[in-house]
Structure formats: C-alpha cells, structure tokens
Amino acid sequence: MEEIVRARGHEHVTARHASTLELTADDYLTPAGDCILGIEADRTPADFDPAFVDACRDADATVSLELAVDGLTRTVRGRGHPDLDCTNDRSLVCRTSDYVDDRTVMVGADRAAGDLDRELVTALADGGSLTATLRVE
C-alpha cells in the first residue's frame, strides 16, 4: 500500500535536523526550517486513504519513505504507531523518536534530514522536483 507526494526543493533546504524530516504544503521556507526537504507538497496526511492510515497504525508495520529527485533515490525506513491519525493538512513528518502528533507518518525512522546524502540535499536546495513515496507493509 502506498501514497505518493510530489513537492519541490527550495534554496533554503539545508536538511540539518537531527531527529525529523518534513515535507510541507507551504509555498515558502525560511532558513530556520532545517528539517524541511520540500515545499508545495501536493498532498498531506489529511489526504491519505483511510486504509493506508489504518495500516500505519500497526506498531509492527514497516513504513518507508522513498525520496527521488533528479535521478537520485534514497529511502528512509521506520515503523507505524497505534496513535498515528494522519490528519494534518499542512505537512508530514518522519521521526527518529516515538513522538506522535497529527503530522507524524512514521516513528523510529532510521535517519533524519541531517543524515541524508548531501548530493540529494544539494539537488533539493537547487529547487529539484521531489517525488516522495510512502509505503507500509
């Protein structure tokens, strides 16, 4: 089961945050947004299929996020959580911790923004188009 989100990079993408990564539907990014990888996301958790959200609520579920930009592909893996409600209509967040709020789509992620390949980050900082594929198993 999967959900696809399309976004674009921005000159202020630095991807330095140590515990999260984020995509936002906002059309701007300030230098303080060091976890944000893409802006103008065409979908948010509130748009996800209820069956996908239900599958993510399984604590034993494996959730992955494949990030593809300019021919580069990287995958972040984590897990589901019973408290995920995926109702936020502005942004989605993957977390290395177990913290859950309405933006959270994955906990226990094996990497955060700061752990991503710098080549991918540079492509996003150059405004590259991002396709983010969330999968749950």
Q: What is the pLDDT of residue 117?
A: 93
Query: What value does the mean pLDDT of the chain take?
Result: 97
Overall average pLDDT of the 21-45 stretch:
97
pLDDT level of residue 7 (50, 70, 90 thresholds): very high
DSSP 108: S
pLDDT tens track for 91-103: 999 999 999 999 9
Q: What is the pLDDT of residue 37?
A: 98
Q: What is the pLDDT of residue 84?
A: 96
DSSP 100: -
- Pairwise CA distance, residues 4 & 78, whole Å: 17
- CA-closest candidate to residue 51, choices 61, 64, 40: 61
φ/ψ of residue 58, rounded to 5? -80, 120
Any idea what the CATH number is for the domain that residue 8 is in?
2.60.120.630
Q: What is the pLDDT of residue 116?
A: 96
Overall average pLDDT of the 14-38 stretch:
96
Domain count, the chain: 1
Overall average pLDDT of the 22-49 stretch:
97
82: buried, middle or exposed (CB in 10 Å: 19+, 13-18, 0-12)?
Answer: exposed
Quick count: other Cβ atoms within 10 Å of Cβ 42? 12
Range of the domain at 95: 2-136
3-state secondary structure 15-78: CCCCCEEEEECCCCCCCCCCCEEEECCCCCHHHCCHHHHHHHCCCCCEEEEEEEECCEEEEEEE
pLDDT level of residue 54 (50, 70, 90 thresholds): very high
